């Protein structure tokens, strides 16, 4: 069978023009290219993103996470609609490492973002359906750059998974928003995961009806807890607010805090410093994913791994010696 012809690859110049013109179908095709596992597609995607790089970096990048049932999708729908009404263009992306195992829930989430899904000034994109966490995060990062080049000035990155995925999202955004529930029985639930330690703001959702008093009590608990933690920045102390995604109460305050944070971080030079640091982290994450991709795709290496794993499991060789053998096979 003959190799695929160059004509099977997309016209990158045409893609770049369509992206800069804000053509949604072209943006979707470009992100599909980024998410492809084909080696030639990956190479083309890298060239495309490099071409678009001068048109990126101007958007407000907001990471959003929260406990199950907190209403992330409803919050994103309310915040995104608030922003598009104010004249912004909003892109919503997701990091979902669990989707490789369970299929994830982003498609259902997209249907719950009823207003944004039909908004011409919004773009909602499901996360890659499989891959390592580093790989998913890297593809989300490239997708974010494509959206920025297309003129989206606010990018909301939602983490559906837990643990390391939250750190990854914090490492690709300017502002990390942690959503919590009122009266959940354990107001300091987030501290146990360490998520609050990387938060730029905690927002208590469902502060409506009979929940208002409970939301205020939860906010007080978090404010007290934050006093004993070292903030991520010397220029910013993470606030705790209450809001309701259902009634839109407090959504404007949520956005105002994000803008205040951006202003302070820009003035102190920390925003630029954080982004420079993030770019280096992204580079290493992509390199790690490339190495693991070779492990998964190289027939000779794949054939050796079960034998090496068995030898480690049975105690015949140490993990360190096994790593040496794998690294030697990789040529590193």
Domains of the chain as residue ranges with CATH: 56-267 (3.40.50.300), 283-330 (no CATH)
By CB neighbour count within 10 A (0-12 exposed, 13-18 middle, 19+ buried), where does 250 fall? Answer: buried
Distance, CA of 247 to CA of 227 (rounded, Å): 30
Q: Which of 10-24, 207-221, 276-290 has the highest mean pLDDT?
A: 10-24
By CB neighbour count within 10 A (0-12 exposed, 13-18 middle, 19+ buried), where does 75 fall? Answer: buried
Confidence bin at 119 (pLDDT 50/70/90):
very high
Residue 295 has which token pair? 């492990």
Residues 260 and 235: beta-carbon distance below 8 Å: no
Q: Above 70 in pLDDT, residue 162?
A: no
Residues 69-86, mean pLDDT to the nearest whole number: 94
Residues 277-299, mean pLDDT to the nearest whole number: 84
Distance, CA of 245 to CA of 181 (rounded, Å): 12
H-run or E-run covering 212: helix 212-226
Under 8 Å CB-to-CB from 317, ≥6 apart: which residues?
308, 311, 325
Residues 184-201, mean pLDDT to the nearest whole number: 66
By CB neighbour count within 10 A (0-12 exposed, 13-18 middle, 19+ buried), where does 157 fall? Answer: buried
Confidence bin at 37 (pLDDT 50/70/90):
confident
Confidence bin at 110 (pLDDT 50/70/90):
low
Distance, CA of 132 to CA of 109 (rounded, Å): 22
DSSP class of residue 6 equals G
315: phi then psi, degrees, rounded to nearest 5: 80, 15
- Single pTM value for the model: 0.86
Confidence bin at 263 (pLDDT 50/70/90):
very high
Under 8 Å CB-to-CB from 276, ≥6 apart: which residues?
none
pLDDT mean across residues, the chain: 85
Residues 233-256, mean pLDDT to the nearest whole number: 92
Residues 281 and 287: beta-carbon distance below 8 Å: no
pLDDT score, position 6: 46
Distance, CA of 123 to CA of 59 (rounded, Å): 14
Q: In this predicted structure, which of 73-82, 137-146, 178-187, 284-293 has the lowest mean pLDDT?
A: 178-187
Local structure of 241: helix, strand or coil: strand
Under 8 Å CB-to-CB from 23, ≥6 apart: which residues?
150
Q: In this predicted structure, which of 80-94, 220-234, 256-270 has the lowest mean pLDDT?
A: 220-234
Q: In this predicted structure, which of 68-72, 149-153, 252-256 has the lowest mean pLDDT?
A: 68-72
């Amino acid at each position: 069978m003959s190799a695929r012809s160059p004509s099977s690859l997309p016209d990158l110049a045409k893609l770049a023009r369509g992206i800069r013109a804000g053509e949604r179908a072209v943006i979707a095709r470009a992100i599909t290219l980024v998410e492809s596992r084909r080696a030639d597609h990956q190479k083309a995607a890298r060239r495309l993103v490099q071409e678009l790089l001068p048109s990126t970096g101007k958007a407000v990048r907001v990471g959003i996470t929260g406990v199950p049932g907190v209403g992330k999708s409803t919050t994103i729908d309310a915040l995104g609609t608030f922003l598009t009404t104010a004249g912004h263009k909003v892109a919503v992306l997701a990091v979902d490492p669990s989707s490789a195992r369970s299929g994830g829930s982003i498609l259902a989430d997209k249907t719950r973002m009823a207003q944004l899904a039909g908004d011409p000034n919004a773009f909602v994109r499901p996360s890659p359906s499989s891959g390592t966490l580093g790989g998913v995060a890297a593809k989300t990062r490239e997708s974010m750059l494509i959206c920025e080049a297309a003129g989206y000035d606010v990018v909301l990155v939602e983490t559906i998974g837990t643990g390391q995925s939250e750190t990854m999202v914090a490492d690709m955004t300017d502002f990390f928003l942690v959503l919590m529930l009122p009266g959940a029985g354990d107001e300091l639930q987030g501290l146990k995961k360490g998520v609050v330690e990387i938060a730029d703001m905690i927002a208590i959702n469902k502060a409506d009806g009979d929940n208002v008093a409970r939301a205020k009590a939860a906010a007080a608990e978090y404010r007290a807890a934050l006093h004993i933690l070292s903030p991520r920045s010397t220029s910013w102390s993470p606030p705790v607010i209450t809001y309701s995604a259902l009634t839109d109460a407090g959504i404007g305050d949520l956005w105002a805090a994000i803008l205040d944070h951006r202003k302070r971080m820009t003035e102190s030079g920390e925003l630029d410093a954080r982004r420079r640091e993030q770019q280096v982290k992204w580079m290493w994450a992509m390199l790690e994913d490339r190495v693991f991709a070779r492990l998964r795709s190289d027939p000779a290496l794949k054939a050796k791994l079960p034998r090496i794993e068995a030898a480690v499991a049975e105690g015949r060789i140490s993990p360190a010696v096994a790593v040496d053998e794998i690294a030697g096979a990789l040529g590193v």
